[in-house]
């Protein structure tokens, strides 16, 4: 039996790490989608979002404060819809690939994300998470201390700005979904490029229809606060689940997929209501070990196997991740920019 001590961060010796074949077998038990649960999740995510959007239209005649209050709840459903989109990209939401792709394209419109393009880049992220020699696609840019020190001054400044919470989780996250997703990544394949173009065309038609219905001003007053809130939460969830104290990064010759999943992806233990809105994505360590597990099976997998009981992040402890900007290969941990001053002072002495 594997006891709970195996779940503690940074205890990754061969003696304590479970046999990978056993781990694969455990995870495989949970990867079959449940059709009716998937349909129900679609219904209880998309229909409330449409209803809230309509109520926001009506609320503009009452008070914009009420509109903004409704936008918070609407943004929560956008995050939940994105998790469905995310599962479709992994082929885990339905058994049928056609059903996954169709649902992924529809939910991609609602989340402003081109399905095929994002699916490709996210698959690369899963195959390379925690690998220092294969960074750059589908992840948040993370430099090592030495890489940062080797940059010219203007690039250091750019990196600091990009990684600053007041930029990353506000205008930065907003631009990712509203602007950056409108262009294919350099080097993207033909299918991924056309995914971006067709998504843009469909979004233009959808927005034109909404503007015809409610007008430009009403559309912007409704959609901008929804998008700001949803983008901020979405980028935060992605960020904190790979940038935390205890994360796993290794050079490719020492990199291990299972350790990167179990220890390099956090278990973000959220209050029940936030776990619901975030589609159980807090069980990210399990998700990275087997991306074919539907989001609604992740809690059960966690409950039934102690191997997955790693040290959790909570809302409070996750805030410490805000200061973590670089990977320090000397100490094997995420650090903030303050470590640079400390080392400079030590060197001077």
Domain ranges of the chain: 4-141+162-327
Classify 233 as helix, strand or coil.
helix
| Per-residue confidence (pLDDT) for residue 17, from 0 to 100 | 52
pLDDT of residue 138: 83
pLDDT higher for 238 or 343? 238
Assign 347 a pLDDT band (cuts: 50, 70, 90): low
Q: In which band, very low, low, confident or very high, does the pLDDT at 246 lie, cut at 50, 70 and 90?
A: confident
Q: What is the mean pLDDT of residues 229-246?
A: 94
Q: Which of 301, 294, 298, 288 is nearest to 262 (CA)?
A: 288
Q: Tell which wins on pLDDT, 23 or 84.
A: 84
Distance, CA of 260 to CA of 236 (rounded, Å): 20
266: tokens are 């956090």
pTM for the structure as a whole: 0.91
| Interval 20-63: pLDDT, tens | 888 899 999 999 999 999 999 999 999 999 999 999 999 999 99
Does the pLDDT of residue 216 top 50, yes or no?
Answer: yes
**pLDDT at residue 287, rounded to an integer:** 96
Residue 138 tokens, joined: 């589908």
For 89-139, the pLDDT digits (tens) are 999 999 999 999 999 999 999 999 999 999 999 999 999 999 999 988 888
């Amino acid at each position: 039996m594997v006891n709970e001590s195996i779940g503690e961060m940074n205890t990754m010796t061969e003696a304590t790490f479970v046999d990978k074949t056993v781990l694969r077998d455990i995870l495989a038990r949970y990867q079959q989608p449940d059709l009716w649960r998937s349909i129900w999740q679609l219904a209880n995510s998309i229909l409330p979002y449409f209803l809230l959007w309509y109520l926001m239209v009506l609320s503009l005649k009452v008070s914009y404060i009420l509109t903004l209050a409704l936008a918070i709840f609407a943004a929560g459903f956008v995050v939940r819809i994105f998790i469905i989109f995310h599962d479709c990209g992994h082929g885990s939401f339905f058994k049928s690939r056609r059903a996954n792709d169709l649902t992924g394209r529809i939910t991609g419109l609602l989340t402003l994300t081109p399905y095929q393009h994002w699916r490709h880049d996210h698959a690369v992220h899963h195959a390379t998470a925690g690998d220092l020699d294969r960074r750059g696609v589908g992840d948040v840019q993370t430099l090592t201390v030495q890489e940062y020190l080797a940059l010219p001054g203007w690039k250091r400044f750019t990196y600091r700005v990009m990684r600053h919470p007041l930029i990353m989780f506000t205008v930065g996250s907003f631009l990712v979904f509203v602007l950056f997703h409108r262009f294919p990544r350099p080097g993207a394949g033909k299918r991924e490029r056309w995914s971006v173009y067709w998504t843009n065309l469909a979004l233009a038609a959808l927005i034109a229809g909404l503007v015809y219905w409610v007008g430009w001003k009403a559309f912007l007053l409704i959609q901008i606060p929804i998008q700001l809130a949803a983008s901020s939460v979405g980028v935060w969830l992605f960020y904190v689940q790979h940038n935390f104290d205890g994360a796993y990064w290794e050079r490719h010759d020492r990199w291990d997929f299972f350790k990167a999943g179990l220890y390099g992806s956090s278990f973000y233990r959220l209050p029940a209501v936030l776990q619901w809105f975030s589609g159980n994505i807090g069980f990210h360590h399990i998700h990275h070990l087997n991306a074919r597990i539907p989001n609604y099976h992740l809690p059960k997998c966690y409950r039934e196997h102690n191997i997955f009981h790693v040290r959790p992040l909570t809302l409070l402890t996750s805030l410490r991740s805000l200061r973590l900007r670089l990977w320090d290969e000397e100490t094997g941990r995420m650090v903030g920019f303050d470590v640079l001053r400390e080392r400079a002072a030590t060197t001077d002495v």
